[in-house]
Structure 1
Amino acid sequence: MIHIAIVEDEDIYIRQLTEYMERFQKEFSQEIRLSFFRDGDEIVEKYTADYNIILMDIQMQFMDGMTAAEKIREMDKKVIIMFITNMTSYAVRGYEVDALDYMVKPVEYFSFCQKLKRAIDRIPQSNENYLLLPVETGVLRLNVKEIYYVESYGHQMIFVTKHGNVQSRMTMKKAEEELLQYDFFRCAKSYLVNMKYVEGIQEGCCMIHGERLQVSRQKRKEFMEALVNYMSEAAR
């Protein structure tokens, strides 16, 4: 099922887009789930990073669509954004936030249909898995395979990734529960490592991403067994 967010403050266009969506689903046998927001600040504040497509009005009362899109891009690099506007000059700025396209009001069904099909075709059809992290600005969607390791530091969690470090309020217990299924292992009280990136073991430390992470004495035997099993599976 495709999850589409509609961010629009005018009732006439909310009704029109809803009708178009219902018609599109029938014509193309496509299951679509809709979420509605009345203003840019509303979707940013409640952002959950589980949308495939966002149809965003540009001119709204409290937070314009362009500003909302910029904030969403900080949390979600993958979601497809399309603007709805009656001023094409605004839509050109959409390229700054990697928007796919824009629809000009009043929206005609044929144009809507063509643009929506194009957006759906762009939805990634991969087996990638994502972790939703509570962060200071809201929620961030993080690709699991890009995480090297997780470190607890005070009351914060540090996710060390290919694109830099991310701080989160998620607990280590929650992170372990979420990531255990993706070949992560808790090698010490403060470290949860992605077995995919383990380079070796030296002097009781796990070598990963050029760093030495302590493997606790209690976890050492279990960790070595898990690493050997992972390497055996990966070699098949």
Structure 2
Amino acid sequence: MIRVAVVEDEAVYAAQLREYLARYAAQSGEALEVCCFSDGDEIVEGYRAQYDIILLDVQMKFMDGMTAAEEIRRRDPEVVIIFITNMAQYAIRGYAVDALDYVLKPVSYFAFSQRLDRAIARMKKRARRYMTIAVKGGALKLDIARIRYVESQGHNLVFHTDEGDHVAAGTMKEAEEKLAGQGFFRCNKGYLVNLEQVDGVRDGCALVRGEALLISRPRKNEFLEALANFVGEAVK
């Protein structure tokens, strides 16, 4: 399911964008979940990095699209933003907030579908490198490469990252499923380690950025094999 937010204060254009999204979903087979907002302040308030793509009008009454995009980018570096505007010079400013593209009004379905193709391609590519976790008061997107290891603590998971620690509800099994194929391996019951962040193995422990994480005896051979394979692939 691809989550799309439409932020447009003109009812006619908002209805047109919803119609285009429904048409695109029918033609492409992509499952789209659409949520609509009538002004920039509506989407910014309580924003929790819950969308994959945002179609954002530039000129709105209370909070313009550029200001909204700046606020969104502070909380969500990876959401794909496409500006909808009738003035190209405004859209060009969108590169400052890493907007993917812009569509000029009046919006044609052909131009719209092309931008959506690009947006979905970028979103799917990035989805392999990012994950969203539920944290107290909202959600947080993590760069998978910067996760050092995941620790199980009761009914919670602690994501130890280069930027700090984040606590989320969940099980180690769920974390393993989300990070499958991303170079993570269980060194013991309580730790899921990012092999890219392992500096070495010593005294039965995996050395992860200065921390020594115990490798359980039953998992030792598998862990060492997984680490060797990962390093071998990385240097090819």
> With structure 1 as the length reference, what TM-score do the two structures score?
0.72
SS in 2 for 1:14: helix
- For residues 195 and 117 of structure 2, the distance between their equivalents in structure 1, rounded to whole angstroms, comes to 39
Worse-matched range after superposition: 105-114 or 121-130: 121-130
The answer as to 2:220 corresponding to 1:224 is: yes
Instruction: Name the amino acid aligned to 2:163.
Output: N
- For residues 40 and 187 of structure 2, the distance between their equivalents in structure 1, rounded to whole angstroms, comes to 39
Q: 1:43 to 1:136 in 2, by over 3 A?
A: farther
- Residues 105-144 of structure 1: pairs in structure 2 closer than 5 A: 105-125=105-125, 128=128, 130-134=130-134, 138-144=138-144
Q: 1:187 to 1:62 in 2, by over 3 A?
A: farther
Per the alignment, residue 84 of structure 2 pairs with 84
- For residues 93 and 137 of structure 1, the distance between their equivalents in structure 2, rounded to whole angstroms, comes to 32
- For residues 170 and 184 of structure 1, the distance between their equivalents in structure 2, rounded to whole angstroms, comes to 19
The answer as to 2:30 corresponding to 1:34 is: no
Question: Would the aligned equivalents of 1:185 and 1:195 in 2 still touch at CA under 8 Å?
Answer: no
Instruction: Name the amino acid aligned to 2:54.
Output: I
Question: Would the aligned equivalents of 1:147 and 1:194 in 2 still touch at CA under 8 Å?
Answer: yes
Per the alignment, residue 172 of structure 2 pairs with 176
> With structure 2 as the length reference, what TM-score do the two structures score?
0.72
Question: Would the aligned equivalents of 1:128 and 1:143 in 2 still touch at CA under 8 Å?
Answer: no
Note the residue ranges of structure 2 that are not aligned, 5 or more in a row.
Answer: none
1:43 CA displacement: 3.2
Per the alignment, residue 73 of structure 1 pairs with 73
Question: Would the aligned equivalents of 1:133 and 1:142 in 2 still touch at CA under 8 Å?
Answer: yes
Per the alignment, residue 165 of structure 1 pairs with 163
The answer as to 2:149 corresponding to 1:149 is: yes
Count of aligned residue pairs for this structure pair: 223
Q: 1:56 to 1:166 in 2, by over 3 A?
A: farther
Q: CA RMSD in A?
A: 3.6
Question: Would the aligned equivalents of 2:188 and 2:216 in 1 still touch at CA under 8 Å?
Answer: yes
Instruction: Name the amino acid aligned to 2:73.
Output: R
- For residues 195 and 101 of structure 1, the distance between their equivalents in structure 2, rounded to whole angstroms, comes to 35
Question: Would the aligned equivalents of 2:148 and 2:197 in 1 still touch at CA under 8 Å?
Answer: yes
Question: Would the aligned equivalents of 1:55 and 1:81 in 2 still touch at CA under 8 Å?
Answer: yes
- For residues 214 and 24 of structure 1, the distance between their equivalents in structure 2, rounded to whole angstroms, comes to 48
Q: 1:132 to 1:110 in 2, by over 3 A?
A: closer
Question: Would the aligned equivalents of 2:58 and 2:84 in 1 still touch at CA under 8 Å?
Answer: yes
SS in 2 for 1:170: strand
1:149 CA displacement: 2.0
1:98 CA displacement: 0.8
Instruction: Name the amino acid aligned to 1:68.
Output: A
Identity level (%):
40
Per the alignment, residue 16 of structure 1 pairs with 16
Question: Would the aligned equivalents of 2:82 and 2:102 in 1 still touch at CA under 8 Å?
Answer: yes
